[in-house]
Structure 1
Amino acid sequence: MTSSAFTESSLTGIPVKRGKVRDVYDFGDRLLFVATDRISAFDWILAPGIPDKGRVLTQISRFWFERFTTISNHLLSMDPADLPLPADTDLEALRGRCMVVRKTEVVPFECVVRGYLSGSGWKDYQATGAVCGIDLPAGLKQSDQLPEPLFTPATKAESGHDENVSFEVMSQAIGQELADSLREKSVQIYQQGSEYARERGIILADTKFEFGLLDGTPILIDEVLTPDSSRFWPAETYQPGGAQPSLDKQFVRDWLETTDWDKNSTPPVLPDQIVEKTREKYFEAYKMLTGEECTW
């Protein structure tokens, strides 16, 4: 292993909220997003972390934020030193894994877009012939491309599992106009990202976006089209009719499924070879999407 995992940041005296992966520090009108190397699966944070994973997530998000010019986003700077950091801050530990962002009113729904039949969507289709209540043609196979991308929102959970809900539930909660706008923007961004990724040899099977309101206008926040928030499949090996090789954390989920873990107790420690292979997959996704080598 080339480096150890960075699993928790610390900024003396700055209010912080810790998610499954990110530590978010509140500087008043701005936030500092620190992507750690924590990795989660089945609503559990696993041990150990994946070295440099947070840097990959941050730099892929930066790449997409800069690419998507038709919608505003929360990114202000990639340099944490743009904020009044405590004097004892370890800047080297934060290098490459930070975003200084605008503070917004977070929309309390994950905006999920599915372009292929996989994951919970495949299980739903097998049981009901629909995905999240949206009827689909009969006879589709696992990993088939859908006739058109589906927008299937989910509630945002601070901890625990996000829950799929109908578009109507989302509309009632945040208003029809905003819900319609977020659906349109989410599908548009997915399609743009999917077209680009396919040119780079990656199938973007599905993903989730988050939005925040800034002066009443929705902007893109959090992470965008990363191996944590999306299913990335190598296009050269794509073959519908079963599960696909992945360039995301599905690899970790698949390993966990081979153990006797009941998903209700402390998860098993990830073996060194699973940690290293996962790191390689994240690095490969970064290189394929950006054309750049990871230099960390």
Structure 2
Amino acid sequence: MTQLSSPPQLAGWTHTYSGKVRDLYVPADGSADYLLVVASNRVSAFDHVLEPPIPGKGALLTALSNWWFSRIELPNHLVAPAPGVPEVPAEVADRAMLSRRLEMYPIECVVRGALTGSGFAEYQRTGAVCGIELPAGLSDGDLLDAPIYTPAYKAPLGEHDENITYERSVELVGAETAAALRDASLAIFTAAREQAAERGVVLADTKFEFGRDPRTGELVLADEVLTSDSSRYWDADTYFTEGLSGSARLASFDKQIVRDWLAANWDRTGEPPVLPHEIVTRTLARYRELLERITA
């Protein structure tokens, strides 16, 4: 995997971890109550962080997350400015979320409203997705009669997440918590899909992450939510165009442009090539278009 560049130094904060896209910081004074989550402009594909970054991507992802958080009727990890609360550094204010510290559950809560991606590949092999049997004869991109909850186990750093059955999620977190994660995920997805449809967008699938507030024990929605990086969105007019099929019909509002270019120009050996300016520009425009359409 490509090595990440050094994250920015932020006054009052200590860097603790960097993922492919996000950098995490804790208060430099040692407070254990807060976490600063900064969305970078990095873009990754095929287990590599690519060059150059997508300028403005972090701010677009953060704006979309914040918009959805404000409309989801479930406690979330965001902390509002207040006396005694650490300030968000100005240089990352448009792409940072000040969060409360949570005990995160080791489950990625995936909800699928359409059969595509890894779910479709598993369906082709087994006729099911994460143990859920589906009708025969479905094609890539077909909408499901009802969304399905297909959790994944969040693997340790450096390993790939693993699709699991609901029964396995019960073993990992207990029956009560597993049911709460499933029910909350399906409820959020269903409401978000309806709102996206009103704006001419199909929400095909998404993933949520939740934690437990150690002080209250309540279930809390965390991480990013319903962004271009955590969700698959399709343009409704294109999706429902008769006679259109394949990648054109299922063009998503995310980094698919990057993945397609890499697939055509790199054999996945050695370091990936530098992204052309046109690919960077088109990808940024796709992220921005989704934000503008969803929040209009």
State the TM-score, normalized to the length of structure 1.
0.88
User: Which residue of the partner structure matches residue 233 of structure 1?
Assistant: 234
Q: How far does residue 8 in structure 1 lie from its aligned partner after superposition?
A: 3.3
RMSD, matched Cα:
2.1
Contact 1:249-1:278 at 8 Å conserved across structures: yes
Contact 2:266-2:273 at 8 Å conserved across structures: no
User: Which residue of the partner structure matches residue 9 of structure 2?
Assistant: 10
Q: Find 1:282's aligned residue among 280, 284, 287.
A: 287
User: Is residue 73 of structure 1 aligned with residue 76 of structure 2?
Assistant: yes
Give 3-state SS (helix, strand or coil) of 1:142's partner. coil
Which has the higher mean CA deviation after the structures are superposed, 172-181 or 120-129? 120-129
Distance in structure 2 (CA, Å) of the matches to 1:10 and 1:33: 13
Which has the higher mean CA deviation after the structures are superposed, 141-150 or 178-187? 141-150
User: Which residue of the partner structure matches residue 135 of structure 2?
Assistant: 137
User: Which residue of the partner structure matches residue 126 of structure 1?
Assistant: 124
Contact 2:114-2:143 at 8 Å conserved across structures: yes
Distance in structure 2 (CA, Å) of the matches to 1:133 and 1:66: 33
Give 3-state SS (helix, strand or coil) of 1:96's partner. helix
Give the percent of matched residue pairs that are identical in Structure 1 and Structure 2. 47
1:46-70 Cα distance to aligned partner (Å, 9 max, x none): 111111000011110000110112x
Distance in structure 1 (CA, Å) of the matches to 2:120 and 2:81: 38
Which has the higher mean CA deviation after the structures are superposed, 27-36 or 274-283? 27-36
1:188-219 Cα distance to aligned partner (Å, 9 max, x none): 10001110011011111000000010032211
User: Is residue 38 of structure 1 aligned with residue 42 of structure 2?
Assistant: yes
Q: How far does residue 166 in structure 1 lie from its aligned partner after superposition?
A: 1.2
Distance in structure 1 (CA, Å) of the matches to 2:140 and 2:34: 43
Mapping 1:93-112, distance limit 5 Å:
93-112=91-110
**1:83 aligned partner, one-letter code:** P
The number of residue pairs the alignment matches comes to 278
Q: How far does residue 94 in structure 1 lie from its aligned partner after superposition?
A: 0.9
Give 3-state SS (helix, strand or coil) of 1:95's partner. helix
Give 3-state SS (helix, strand or coil) of 2:79's partner. strand
Distance in structure 1 (CA, Å) of the matches to 2:125 and 2:81: 45
Q: How far does residue 261 in structure 1 lie from its aligned partner after superposition?
A: 2.4
Which has the higher mean CA deviation after the structures are superposed, 37-46 or 252-261? 252-261
Q: How far does residue 125 in structure 1 lie from its aligned partner after superposition?
A: 1.2
**2:285 aligned partner, one-letter code:** E
Structure 1 residues 7 and 206: alpha-carbon distance in aligned structure 2, compared to 1, 3 A threshold: farther
Give 3-state SS (helix, strand or coil) of 1:192's partner. helix
Contact 1:209-1:220 at 8 Å conserved across structures: yes
Contact 1:110-1:155 at 8 Å conserved across structures: yes
**2:258 aligned partner, one-letter code:** V
1:50-101 Cα distance to aligned partner (Å, 9 max, x none): 11000011110000110112x100011379x95257xxx6x2x313101111
Mapping 1:47-58, distance limit 5 Å:
47-58=51-62
User: Which residue of the partner structure matches residue 20 of structure 2?
Assistant: 20
Distance in structure 1 (CA, Å) of the matches to 2:60 and 2:285: 11
User: Is residue 173 of structure 1 aligned with residue 172 of structure 2?
Assistant: yes
Q: How far does residue 248 in structure 1 lie from its aligned partner after superposition?
A: 1.1
Structure 1 residues 46 and 7: alpha-carbon distance in aligned structure 2, compared to 1, 3 A threshold: farther
Structure 1 residues 126 and 241: alpha-carbon distance in aligned structure 2, compared to 1, 3 A threshold: farther
State the TM-score, normalized to the length of structure 2.
0.88
